[in-house]
Amino acid sequence: MAGFLIKRLLQAIFVVIAITLVVSFAIRLTGDPAVTMFQGGGSMTEDDLARIRAALGTDQPFFVQYLNFLKGLVTLDFGRSFSGGTSVSLLIGHALPATLLLAFISMFVSIALSIPLGIKAATSRGKAADQAIRIFSLIGLSFPNFWLATMLVLLFAITLGWLPPSGMSGWASYVMPAVTMGVILTATNVRLVRTSMLETLQSQYIMVARAKGLSENKVLYKHALRNCAIPLITYFGLQFGGLLGGIVVIERVFNWPGMGTLAFDAVGARDFPVLQAVITVLSLMIVGINLLVDIAYGLVDPRIRTE
């Protein structure tokens, strides 16, 4: 297990270097931040632009810029934002917890809903409960998340006035974004849990557990669940990673001060330091999650742990 983790860690370092290299390079193809900053701001001479580039450091060769960035990465100093001059680390420090918390809550809601519902659907395969769960899951899958978010805002914030429409202030502001994400995720996850459970229930050891005289709850929640969780862990891990990256839309709708909003604004402003930092931090998170998934595997499945 230790050797396995070391191997994974080495892989992770390569992944991070590859991602940051591609991102830093690609981002510089999108245009000159000096020009963007003064778009429509009167006449600029070539000299003015050169001065701005020197101030931003974008006049240096790409690899020098990239190495500076890597240096900063080690010391957690991502430089200053091109727009406003705020410390990028500070910006991330504010945005990351907001995004993580929202993602965690959404994931938690979704797992807490999809496991019992998925098991119920699997055990009553083909019966009314199964049909109902599958139909609702299909409806959930068909909602575009921004549409669902807008509808929730219209109903609960504008018509009923129960919840704040946007921003992050107090627990009430978490409800709508978390429910939006949670519903979409649950719709997929219920189907996954159902499929995995159906497969597990076909196993001989489930028949053996029943032949022992165990109650159906013991059979399902003790014998089947841990086995059925093994494929789910991978998927939930990937999903969480995807959630961190894909949360932009939801953050825009609810004006959530998270990584998505930060990245969105940075793209518009060609704010290289911010964008590089956001993407690097997110990819580090995803690599970290995958590492956690591997550890979780070992905990759940002795075949991996004792290897």
Partner 1 sequence: MSATNKPLLSVENLSVEFGSSRVVDDLSFTVEAGKTVAVVGESGSGKSVTSLSTMRLADMMGAKYATGRILFNDKDLLKASQKEMRSIRGKEIAMIFQEPMTSLNPVFTIGDQICEVLMLHEKLGKSAAMAEAQRLLDMVRLPDSGQLLHRFPHQLSGGMRQRVMIAMALACRPKLLIADEPTTALDVTIQAQILNIMRDLQKTLGMGMVFITHDMGVVAEMADHVVVMWKGKKVEEGPVNEIFANPQHPYTRTLLSAVPKLGSMTGEEFPKRMPLTVLQDGEPTVVGEERVQNTAKYDEKPLLSVKDLLVRFDIKKNLFGKATHRCSAVQNVSFDIHPGETLALVGESGSGKSTIGRTIQQLQSSMGGEIAFNGRTYSSMSAAERFRMRQEVQYIFQDPFASLDPRKTVGFSIAEPINTHGLINDGKAVQRRVDELLERVGLPSSVASRYPHEFSGGQRQRVCIARALASDPKLIIADEALSALDVSIQAQIINLFMDLQAERGLAYLFISHDMAVVEKMSHRVAVLYLGQIMEMGSRQQVFENPSHDYTRRLLSAVPVADPTAPRNTALIEGEIPNPVRRVGDEPAILSHEEINPGHFIAKSA
Residues of this chain that bind partner 1 (CB under 8 A): 3, 6-7, 203-205, 207-216, 223, 226-227, 300-303, 306
Tell me whether residue 70 or residue 198 sits nearer to partner 1 (CB atom): 198
Tell me whether residue 48 or residue 307 sits nearer to partner 1 (CB atom): 307
Query: First and final CA of the chain: distance in angstroms?
Result: 7
Tell me whether residue 28 or residue 210 sits nearer to partner 1 (CB atom): 210
HSE at residue 229, side-chain half, CA atoms within 13 A, is 17
Tell me the closest approach of the beta carbon of residue 121 to partner 1, in angstroms: 16
Tell me the closest approach of the beta carbon of residue 226 to partner 1, in angstroms: 5
Give how far Cα 41 sits from Cα of 232, 266, 271, Å: 53, 19, 18
Tell me whether residue 41 or residue 126 sits nearer to partner 1 (CB atom): 126
Give every CB contact of residue 251 below 8 A, 6+ residues apart in sequence. 99, 102, 177, 257, 258, 259, 260, 261, 264
CA atoms of 64 and 83, how far apart (whole Å)? 21
Closest C-alpha to 175, from 160, 163, 161:
163
Tell me the closest approach of the beta carbon of residue 225 to partner 1, in angstroms: 10
Tell me the closest approach of the beta carbon of residue 240 to partner 1, in angstroms: 23
Tell me whether residue 39 or residue 217 sits nearer to partner 1 (CB atom): 217
Tell me the closest approach of the beta carbon of residue 8 to partner 1, in angstroms: 11
